[in-house]
Amino acid sequence: MKDFEISRRRFGYLVAGVAASTMMPFSLRAAAASKSSAVAATFPGNWEDAYRTVITPVLQKEGYGLTIAPVMAQDQLAKTLASPGRPPYDTLLMSPGQTTIAVEKDLIQKIDPARLKNWALLDPSFQGEYGPTVTIEVNGIAYNPDLVPRPKGYRDLFENPAYKGLVSWTGFESNTAVMAYTEIAKIFGSGAQDMQAVFDLFKKHPEQLKAIVDSTNHQMTLFQQGEIAVFMCSTNNVARLKSLGMNAEFVHPETGSPAAPVNIHLTKGAANLDAAYAYMDAAISQSVQQQLMQPPTDMFPTNRAVALTPAIAAYLTRDQIKTLVYPDWAAINKNRDSWIRQFDTLVAG
Looking at residue 258, the DSSP 8-state letter turns out to be: B
- pLDDT over 50 at 33, yes or no: no
* Contact partners, residue 80, CB within 8 Å, separation at least 6: 87, 88, 89, 92, 102, 107, 267
Please give the share of the chain, as a percent, with pLDDT higher than 90: 82
Q: What backbone phi and psi angles, to 5 degrees, belong to 181?
A: -65, -35
Lowest-confidence range among 9-23, 234-248, 254-268, 335-349? 9-23
- pLDDT over 70 at 299, yes or no: yes
Predicted local distance difference test score (pLDDT) of residue 203: 96
**CA distance linking residue 215 with residue 219, whole number of Å:** 7
Lowest-confidence range among 27-31, 111-115, 284-288, 299-303? 27-31
Do residues 86 and 268 make contact, with C-beta atoms less than 8 angstroms apart? no
Predicted local distance difference test score (pLDDT) of residue 35: 52
Q: What is the pLDDT of residues 252-293, one digit of tens each?
A: 999 999 999 999 999 999 999 999 999 999 999 999 999 999
Predicted local distance difference test score (pLDDT) of residue 303: 97
Q: 92, 91, 96, 100: which is closest to 136 by C-alpha? A: 96
Report CA dihedral (38, 40, 45, 47) to the nearest 10 degrees: -100
Q: What is the pLDDT of residues 55-78, one digit of tens each?
A: 999 999 999 999 999 998 989 999
296 pLDDT tier (thresholds 50, 70, 90): confident
Task: For residues 1-19, give the mean pLDDT.
Answer: 38
Count of residues making up the chain? 349
- DSSP string of 20-71? HTTHHHHHHHHHT-STTEEEEEE-TTHHHHHIIIIIHHHHHHTT-EEEEEE-
Give the Cα-Cα-Cα angle 300, 302, 303 (nearest 5 degrees): 125
Q: How far is CA 132 from the centre of its chain?
A: 15
Task: For residues 2-27, give the mean pLDDT.
Answer: 40
Task: Round the CA-based radius of gyration of the chain to a whole number and report it.
Answer: 20
Q: What is the pLDDT of residues 149-164, one digit of tens each?
A: 999 999 999 999 999 9
Please give the share of the chain, as a percent, with pLDDT higher than 70: 90
Predicted local distance difference test score (pLDDT) of residue 20: 40
Q: In sequence order, what E strands does 86-130 have?
A: 91-94, 108-109, 127-128
Predicted local distance difference test score (pLDDT) of residue 184: 98
- pLDDT over 50 at 212, yes or no: yes
Q: What is the pLDDT of residues 151-207, one digit of tens each?
A: 999 999 999 999 999 999 999 988 899 999 999 999 999 999 999 999 999 999 999
- Residue ranges of domains in the chain, CATH in brackets: 8-136+261-308 (3.40.190.10), 138-258+330-348 (3.40.190.10)
45 pLDDT tier (thresholds 50, 70, 90): confident
